[in-house]
Each structure stands twice: as structure tokens, then as C-alpha cells.
Structure 1
Amino acid sequence: MRDATVTPNGDRIRWVEVPGKEPVRLYLHGLGSSSPVYYAAAAAHPLLTGHRSLLLDLLGFGISDRPADFSYTLEAHADAVAAAVRAAGVERAEVIGHSLGGAVAIVLAHRHPGLVAKLVLVDSVIDPVDPSRSAIASQTEEEFLAGGRERVEQSAGPFWWATMRLAGPEALHRTAVHRCRGTVPTLREQLHGLDLPRTFLHPEADGEVDGAARLRESGVLVEAVPDCGHNIMIDNPDGFAKAVATALA
């Protein structure tokens, strides 16, 4: 396990690192999850091995520190990841981001263009979301800290619960709120404007991605992965590995 200080207060991001050749691959997890858990099988797949890989936990989640005084905006997450990546001596990483991690990856590429060579978004958030649709963001932070978190955990599936309970409560709530709120310019606008290879993976069963035609017009490769739900890398590791290997070829 490796770590790096990413805030003036000394808060540290941690990651599991797999040695290998360049270019480096950076894996970013979704809300309430953890990269070493969610990506372990996929990163070890024969189609994806051989590269130096950082399975990184965002600040507030998994094995990283959980400061209560961090803003947990998408921009702050991206800047913290950038600090960790630079501390690891990484340049021009191939970034794979799932759900929330994809949103952070877009902002990372937008704000720190020299750090990202290619982008693979895995059923990622790219549009604002109505907070009422989120079990977490629909609560105030006070409600969430006073018992709302426990109600969300009770309704979560066993896999998500196993990693969500590791998240800092402030991190979980504030990140969920900012995930719903999005960014200015929007994540979709930032994605359209990036000048690098970009792929958007989504479950085949969900049908066409909203705005897929415009994404393709801006150079984003939109690919459906069969036999999976939102957690593509867990539900279909072979399909995920094949799609990611193709995107990064």
C-alpha cells in the first residue's frame, strides 16, 4: 500500500499499487466503494495485467483518510487525486473511473490535463441528478449524521454495504450532494471538450446512453457491455476487461 499527503492539514490518500510497465493505469471507484475491492478481479484479468496500476481510494473513502473538514466537491476530489498521482511520480495516466469515479476523472482531466492520457468512464455520472432521487443527498447533513446513514446502510446490498461502512459520514453525504449538483461547466460539457481518447462503457441492458449521438460527435466511443448491471467490473469481469483493453489499445 502507498500513500501521499493531499491537503494542508496532512490528510492522506492511499492506494494499492501493482507494479508493471508504463503507461500507468489509475482506477477510481464509485460512491461509497473502494478501488482495491471493486477493481481487484478486473485489474488482475489477463487482458489488463502488465501495467503499473494504482487502485486508489478517494479522500474520505476506503483506506484513505476521512477528514470531516474537507469540502468533498468533485473539484476538491480531483485536486486531491492529482496531488496523489503527482506524488506517485505519475504522468499521462490511463484513468478508469466507475460512476462517481468517472465524474472525478472527467474533472481531473479538465483541471489537470497533463496527468491524463486516456479516459475510460464506467457507467459514469455526467449529468446533474435530482437530489430527491438519492437516498443520501435527499437528507440534510444533520439528518444523515443523526441516523440517516444507518437507514441507508440497512437498505444497501451486502457488497455495497461492506465498503460504504468504511466511508467517513461527512465524506459520504457531501460527495453525494456534489455528485447530484454537478459542476460548472457541466461534466458532460467538460467531457465533450477534452482532447484525448475517451470511452464510455454502459450496461447493454440499460439501452442507449442519454446524449450518445452528441458524445460520439465529440469523439467519445460509447460501448455497451452485456450481462451486467451498474457494477460492470464485478458483474462481468471478462466483458469489462475486454472493453477496457480495447479502449486503451
Structure 2
Amino acid sequence: MHSAAVTTEGDRIRWVELPGRDPARVYVHGLGATSPAYFTETAVHPLLAGHRSLLVDLLGHGHSDRPTTFAYTLEDHADALAAALRAAKVTAAEVVAHSMGGSVAVVLAARHPELVSRLVLVDANLDPLAPEPGALGSRGIAAYGEEEFVAGGWREVRDRAGELWWSTMRLAGREALHRSAVHLVRGTTPTMRDLLLGLTVPRTFLYPEADGAFPGAEALEAAGVRVVPVPDCGHNIMLDNPEGFAHATAKALA
């Protein structure tokens, strides 16, 4: 376990690091998740092993600190991650990022281009969403006011999340979880999709084949983004089909 202070108050991001060759690979989890739990199996897969790999927990999540004074915007997450990578002496990393982590990774590449050489986005959020009471995921969490969520709304989210997601969501700070969800559904200006279209590094977007055609895939591909369906999986591609995920990610990073 490694760590670095990433705020002026000294709040620390922590990551599990696997030794290996450069370029480093940085794995970033989604909302309410943790990178060691979601990525270890595939990070050590024979097709992906051998590179220095940092399985990072974003601020407010997993093993990292959970400050209540942090805003948890996508830009804040990206800047804190950038500070951790600089402390780890990482440059030109291959970033593999899931869901909200993919949104953070796009912002990271746009704001700190020297830190990112390739992007593999795993069913990442690219567009703003509308909060919806009772919905699963970020839209449902963002439908609460912060005080309402912290006071007890989190229990309703726990009951909807299911055993797998709650096993890592319970580690997140409640303010961190709520603010991260609010800013994820609000998105960025320009949107994460527009930021992704404007990047020049090699980019691959993985999504579940069962979802059908990915919205806006033609425009992404026209801008040089490889859009790749992965079979036999849902949103958590690396957990549902680790073999398929490893093959698709290795091809993206080849």
C-alpha cells in the first residue's frame, strides 16, 4: 500500500502497487467502488501483467481518506489523482478506468495531458444524466439532498445496491458518495464526451455487448476512439467477464 497527500489539508489518496516495467498502468474504479477489489484479477492476468500497476482509490473511497471539506467534483477528483500520480513519479501512464473513474480519467487527460498516454474507458459515463428517485446508481443517489442522504437516505441506497456493490460502497464517506454522484450526473463543461472527442492520445471505449449499439459510437470512432463491445457481461465488465476484459484491454494497450 502506497499513499500521497493530495490536498492542502493533507488528505491522502492510497493505492496498491504492483511492480513492473514502464509505462505504468493506472486503474481507476467507479462510484462507490475500490480499485483493488475491481481490478486485481485482471491486472495480474497473463495478458496484462508485467507493467508497473497502480490500483488507485479515489479520495473518499476505499482505502483513501474521506474528507468532508472536499467538493468531489470530477475536476477535483482528477486534480487529486494527478497529485497522487506526480507523487508516485508517474508520467505518460496507460489509464484503465471504469464508470465514474472513466469520467475522471477523461478529465485527467484533458487537464493533465503529460500524465496520460493511453485511455481505456470501461463503460464510462460520458454524458450528463437526470437524477431520479429510486434509480440504481448515481442518478438515485443524486436525487437526495446531501443532509437527507447522510441522515438516512444511504440506507435506501444500500438496500437497492445489492451485496456486491455495497461491499465496497460501505467504505466510501457518505458525503463523498453523495457529492461524487451529484457531480457525476451533472457532468462537466464541455461534457466528458466532448472532452474525449478532443483528446489526441489512443482511446478505447469498452461496453457490454448486451446493451446494443453504443449511443454516439459513430462520432467517437470518427474522432479516433475505438468502441469495442465485450460479450457476456454487464456494467462491471472486468468482474463479469475477466477473460474478455483482459483480451479487449490488452488489444487496446498493444
Between the aligned partners of 2:101 and 2:54, the Cα distance in structure 1 is 13
Question: Where do 1:24-43 residues align within 5 Å?
Answer: 24-43=24-43
Q: Any idea what SS the aligned residue of 1:131 has?
A: coil
Q: Could you tell me which residue of structure 1 aligns to residue 60 of structure 2? A: 60
- 1:185 corresponds to which residue? 190
CA deviation string 1:124-169 (max 9, x = no partner)? 0000011115220011001101100011112211110100000000
* 1:8 CA drift (Å): 0.1
Please name the residue that 1:171 is paired with: 176
Letter in 1 for 2:7: T
Question: In the alignment, which residue of structure 1 is the partner of 2:45?
Answer: 45
SS of equivalent to 1:224: strand
CA distance in 2, matches of 1:118, 1:94: 5
Q: d(CA) in 1 for partners of 2:44 and 2:50?
A: 9
Unaligned segments of structure 2, at least 5 residues: none
Segment drifting more, 151-160 vs 223-232: 151-160
Q: In the alignment, what sits opposite 1:113?
A: 113
Give the whole-Å Cα distance in 2 for the aligned partners of 1:207 and 1:42: 24
Query: 1: CA distance between counterparts of 2:249 and 2:61?
Result: 24
One-letter amino acid of the structure 1 residue matched with residue 100 of structure 2: L
Query: Gaps (5+ residues) in structure 1?
Result: none
Aligned mates of 2:198, 2:43 — CA distance in 1:
28
SS in structure 1 opposite 2:227?
A: strand
Amino acid at match of 1:202: Y
SS at match of 1:119: strand
What is the Cα deviation at residue 40 of structure 1? 1.2
- The amino acid of 1:72's aligned partner reads Y
Runs of 4+ more than 3 Å apart: none
Give the counterpart letter for 1:82 in structure 2: A
Name the aligned partner's letter for residue 14 of structure 1: R
CA distance in 2, matches of 1:36, 1:75: 23
Counterpart of 1:192, as a letter, is L
Cross-structure match for 1:220 = 225
Report the 3-state secondary structure (helix = DSSP H, G, I; strand = E; otherwise coil) of the residue aligned with 1:136: helix
Aligned with 1:49: secondary structure? coil
How far the C-alpha of 1:19 sits from its partner, in A, is 0.1
Displacement after TM superposition at 1:205 (Å): 0.3
Q: SS at 1:17's partner residue?
A: strand
Partner SS, residue 17 of structure 2: strand
Equivalent residue number for residue 104 of structure 2: 104
Q: Which amino acid counterpart does residue 114 of structure 2 have in structure 1?
A: G
Q: Does the residue aligned with 1:222 lie in a helix, a strand or coil? A: strand
2:153 maps to what in 1? 148
- Of 130-139 and 208-217, more deviation after overlay is shown by 130-139
Question: 2:95 & 2:83 partners in 1: Cα distance?
Answer: 15
Task: Give the letter aligned to residue 106 of structure 2.
Answer: I
Q: What's the counterpart of residue 70 of structure 2?
A: 70
Shift of the alpha carbon at 1:247?
A: 0.1
2:84 equivalent in structure 1: 84
Size of the alignment, in residue pairs? 249
Q: Quote the residue 2:236 is aligned against.
A: 231
Three-state SS of the structure 1 residue aligned to 2:166 is helix
Aligned equivalents of 1:196, 1:135: Cα separation in 2 = 33
Matches within 5 A, 1:12-27: 12-27=12-27
CA deviation profile, 1:144-202 (whole Å, cap 9, x unmatched): 01100011112211110100000000100000000000001110110000011000000
Separation in 2, partners of 1:203, 1:45: 20
| Residues 73-103 of structure 1 deviation map (CA, whole Å, 9 limit, x = unaligned) | 0000000000000000000000001000000
